[in-house]
């Protein structure tokens, strides 16, 4: 079906019925769409190209001076398009917004940052009738958030994971700077490793420290190294921790048909034939041929070539 076009008397261009009324409202007599015969940058004859290729060539032409500005985000990996001045402006606005909306901070609004050692310590403090504040921001100038702050005191408890420490068990520079700024403002921040929370001796020292400021608290800890556990299948192969058996043993256990020994299978085929042996075990004659062809891989499923090579070796 041919589309009917209407010619505009002002600009002389053709439009469809649906677009003609819209065009009349904005038409001023000048031609907005000019047909290009040659590329304005490399003078390529555009009549040899299809209509979608014409616009693509003009935009991505190698001699187009604006081509690098439009494609720098795709060419230079990791470039975010912001200058240093705009980054400073954005960070200042972000800081002001967080100061005015402290409850919407990611550490307070999102439940995925919940720490199990921290929650365990809170239950211990509740059992000992010790009041505390959760995710308390002591300074108005900074958005520092302390895990636990004891009521009516300037003592803060920060439960840290291994990511807060260097290899020499010292705090990373950011956390050292935070601790230094809080001490200058009259706060005592106790940096507690998460492993110490589960030690009863440390808990008794911590409770005595909260009740009497003069008591000392041992904050030393050890990095726990978990021994690598190798899970082994019944056949002696290594498997992943979530698997009960290797792939081959798993498929053998899931067989619907109990298969006879290999020598017995050969004798039955010589006596009765493939079809009768297949009817005996409830499978087809081609299945019997496969059992005989590959006794090692007669598992009932198709394996990748990599597994076949491993099994054959």
- pLDDT, position 110: 60
Rounded average pLDDT per 10-residue block, the chain, 313 residues: 76 80 76 68 77 69 68 42 84 85 70 80 91 86 85 90 88 92 90 90 89 78 72 84 82 82 88 90 89 63 38 37
- pLDDT, position 22: 78
What fold characterizes domain 116-211? Answer: Endonuclease; Chain A (3.40.960)
- pLDDT, position 181: 92
- pLDDT, position 301: 39
State pTM to two decimals: 0.46
- pLDDT, position 123: 92
- pLDDT, position 296: 57
φ/ψ (deg, to 5) at 51: -60, -40
- pLDDT, position 20: 81
Give the model confidence (pLDDT) of 80-99 as tens digits: 567 888 889 998 898 888 87
């Amino acid at each position: 079906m041919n589309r009917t076009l209407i010619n505009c008397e002002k600009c002389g261009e053709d439009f469809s019925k649906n677009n003609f009324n819209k065009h009349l409202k904005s038409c001023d007599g000048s031609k907005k769409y000019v047909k290009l015969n040659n590329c304005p940058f490399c003078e390529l004859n555009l009549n040899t190209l299809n209509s979608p290729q014409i616009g693509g060539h003009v935009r991505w032409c190698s001699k187009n001076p604006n081509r690098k500005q439009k494609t720098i985000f795709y060419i230079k990996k990791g470039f975010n398009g912001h200058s240093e001045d705009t980054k400073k402006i954005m960070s200042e606005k972000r800081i002001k917004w967080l100061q005015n909306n402290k409850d919407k901070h990611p550490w307070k609004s999102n439940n995925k940052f919940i720490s199990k050692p921290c929650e365990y310590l809170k239950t211990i403090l509740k059992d000992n009738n010790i009041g505390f504040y959760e995710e308390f921001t002591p300074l108005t100038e900074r958005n520092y958030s302390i895990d636990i702050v004891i009521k009516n005191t300037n003592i803060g408890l920060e439960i840290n994971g291994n990511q807060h420490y260097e290899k020499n068990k010292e705090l990373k520079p950011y956390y050292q700077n935070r601790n230094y700024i809080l001490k200058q403002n009259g706060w005592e921040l106790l940096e507690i490793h998460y492993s110490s929370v589960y030690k009863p001796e440390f808990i008794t020292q911590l409770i005595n420290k909260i009740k009497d400021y003069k008591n000392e608290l041992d904050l030393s800890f050890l990095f726990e190294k978990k021994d690598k556990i190798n899970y082994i299948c019944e056949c002696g192969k290594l498997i992943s921790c979530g698997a009960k058996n290797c792939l081959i043993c798993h498929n053998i256990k899931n067989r619907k048909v109990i298969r006879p020994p290999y020598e017995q299978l050969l004798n039955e085929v010589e006596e009765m034939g493939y079809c009768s042996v297949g009817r005996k075990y409830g499978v087809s004659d081609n299945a019997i041929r496969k059992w005989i062809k590959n006794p090692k891989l007669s598992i009932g499923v198709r394996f990748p070539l990599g597994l076949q090579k491993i099994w054959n070796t």
